[in-house]
């Protein structure tokens, strides 16, 4: 792959080594199974839209996607229903609130955006299907096509989420009471918990991000997973809303559309160039991975990926 590949791999290694001793933050504990994560694990991956992959650290570690599933299910909803079918149900405004906040539009009950839990449940409820099995099969199939390989559900994490998911069900009931949830509350919550419990590696997630960065085409399989216009909209919503109440600061400092999850994964997309993912379970107070966001900040700086940068 020549010296370009060596430079990228060396950079990922250097960044990994610079951050691996940072043990600040804490693993998520409100979902009991997630509390068992190994806080030492740390992996970084970059996938180019040309189909090359570069990785460093614990690249075989698996984790659940959690909120990193949200952009991809939103992409599926947009693909199936179009903008006109989705936008009446879901706003695309940053909420400035926590991922599990009651960020609903006064009057209509519409969630502020699909990157927070309330909005993600609406996106999930919008996926067409005869019943929950068919809907979930479609969701899992889409996540797998983004990753370029068949992904599976971690049943233990799923059971743990169902057992402790009252806050998300409460968000569901609030939306349902306002006529703002296009599905039944418990069915929707379970589908959402299932999508959050899909297992992946950091390389999978980098490729999922690279697929968005490449206009919806998976760089390795060559499959058009979602249309370019959908990828563009999803990236725009990730840029403004993907890091919850840290989204503004993130866009200023890193300058890339991104999405994090409480398992400790974070992904970012550099449009037309690459997808980047970092995994490490210790989280900061906003629920974002400490080492992961530091790694992405360094990668963005090192490769001058900030979207507002004048080349
Ligand atoms: N399954 C988690 C929840 O709904 C996902 C949240 C997250 O990753 N921020 O609480």
pLDDT digits (tens, 9 = 90+) for 14-42: 999 999 999 999 999 999 999 999 999 99
Which class is 70-194 in CATH? alpha beta
Q: Which residues are annotated as a binding site for substrate?
A: 67, 117, 161, 168, 192, 244, 262
Task: Quickly count: other Cβ atoms within 10 Å of residue 6's Cβ.
Answer: 11
Model confidence at 269: pLDDT above 90: yes
- Ligand 1, atom nearest to 261 Cα: 8
CA of 66 to the centre of ligand 1 (A): 5
Q: What is the DSSP string of the chain?
A: -HHHHHHHHHHHHHHHHHHTT---SB---SSGGGGGS-TT--EEEEEETTS-EEEEESTT--EE-GGGGHHHHHHHHHHHHHHHHHTTT-------S-TTS--B-TTT--BS-TTSHHHHHHHHHHS--SSHHHHHHHHHHHHHHHHTS---B-HHHHHHHHHH-HHHHHHHHHHHHTT--SS-HHHHHHHHHHHHTBEE-HHHHHHHHHHHHTTTB-TTT--B-S-HHHHHHHHHHHHHHTTGGGHHHHHHHT-S-EEEETTTEEEEEETTTEEEEEE-S-B-TTS-BHHHHHHHHHHHHHTT--TT---
Residue 265 has pLDDT above 80, yes or no: yes
Q: Percent of the chain, pLDDT > 90?
A: 97
Residue 2 pLDDT class (50, 70, 90 cuts): very low
Tell me if 47 sits within 8 A of 209, measured CB to CB.
yes
- Name the band, by pLDDT with cuts 50, 70 and 90, for residue 310: confident
The preferred substitution site among 161, 164, 247, 288 for testing ligand 1, maximizing ligand atoms within 8 Å of CB, is 161
Question: What is the CATH architecture assignment of 2-66+198-302?
Answer: 3-Layer(aba) Sandwich (3.40)
Long-range contacts of range 13-22, CB-CB < 8 Å, 24 or more positions apart?
A: 13/56, 15/44, 15/56, 15/295, 15/298, 15/299, 15/302, 16/42, 16/43, 16/44, 16/56, 16/57, 16/295, 18/298, 19/291, 19/294, 19/295, 19/298, 20/57, 20/291, 22/290, 22/291, 22/294
Q: Which pLDDT value is given to residue 220?
A: 98
Q: What is the number of residues in the chain?
A: 311
ipTM over 0.85: yes
**What does the pLDDT look like over 231-249, one tens digit per residue?**
999 999 999 999 989 999 9
**Can you give the pTM of this predicted structure?**
0.97
Read off the pLDDT of residues 39-60 as tens digits, 9 standing for 90 and up.
999 999 999 999 999 999 999 9
Pocket (CB within 6 angstroms of ligand 1): 66-67, 99-100, 117, 161, 168, 196, 261-262, 287
Ligand 1 atom closest to the CA of 120, numbered from 1: 4
How much distance in Å is there from the Cα of 104 to the middle of ligand 1?
Answer: 17
Confidence of residue 3 (pLDDT cuts 50, 70, 90): low
How far does CA 27 lie from the centroid of its chain? 17
pLDDT at position 1 over 90: no
How many angstroms separate the CA atoms of 206 and 200, rounded?
10
Tens of pLDDT, residue by residue over 162-179, are 999 999 999 999 999 999
* Best of 67, 122, 200 for a ligand 1 pocket test (most atoms within 8 Å of beta carbon): 67
pLDDT beyond 60 at 65: yes
Distance 196 CA to ligand 1 centre (A): 7
Residues labelled as active-site residues: 67, 70, 192, 244, 262
Point out the ligand 1 atom lying closest to the alpha carbon of residue 197: 1
Mean pLDDT of 95-114: 95
User: What local confidence, expressed as pLDDT, does residue 311 receive?
Assistant: 76
Same fold, 2-66+198-302 and 70-194: yes
pLDDT in tens, 124-174: 999 999 999 999 999 999 999 999 999 999 999 999 999 999 999 999 999
Q: What is the pLDDT of residue 4?
A: 66
Q: What is the pLDDT of residue 141?
A: 98
């Amino acid at each position: 792959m020549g010296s370009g590949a060596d430079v990228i791999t060396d950079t990922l290694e250097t960044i990994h080594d610079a951050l691996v001793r940072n043990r600040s933050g804490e693993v998520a504990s409100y979902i009991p199974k997630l509390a068992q994560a190994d806080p030492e694990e740390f992996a970084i991956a970059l996938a180019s839209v040309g189909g090359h992959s570069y990785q460093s650290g614990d690249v075989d570690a698996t984790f659940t996607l959690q909120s990193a599933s949200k952009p991809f299910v939103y992409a599926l909803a947009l693909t199936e229903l179009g903008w006109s079918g989705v936008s009446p149900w879901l706003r695309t405004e940053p909420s400035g609130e926590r991922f599990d906040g009651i960020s609903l539009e006064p009057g209509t009950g519409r969630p502020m955006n699909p990157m927070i839990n309330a909005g993600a449940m609406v996106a999930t409820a919008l996926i067409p299907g005869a019943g929950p099995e068919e809907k979930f099969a479609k969701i899992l199939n889409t996540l797998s096509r983004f990753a370029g390989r068949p992904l599976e559900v971690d049943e233990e994490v799923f059971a743990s989420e169902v057992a402790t998911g009252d806050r998300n069900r409460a968000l569901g009931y609030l939306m349902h009471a306002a006529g703002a949830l296009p599905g039944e509350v418990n069915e929707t919550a379970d589908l959402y918990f299932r999508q959050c419990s899909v297992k992946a590696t950091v390389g999978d997630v980098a490729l999922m991000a690279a697929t968005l960065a490449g206009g919806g085409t998976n760089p390795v399989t060559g499959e058009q997973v979602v249309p370019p216009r959908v990828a563009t909209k999803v990236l725009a919503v990730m840029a403004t809303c993907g890091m919850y109440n840290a989204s503004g600061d993130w866009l200023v400092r890193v300058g890339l559309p991104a999405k994090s999850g409480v398992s400790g994964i974070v992904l970012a997309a550099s449009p037309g160039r690459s997808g980047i993912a970092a995994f490490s379970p210790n989280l900061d107070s906003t629920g974002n991975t400490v080492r992961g966001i530091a790694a992405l900040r360094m990668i963005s700086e090192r490769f001058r990926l900030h979207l507002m940068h004048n080349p």
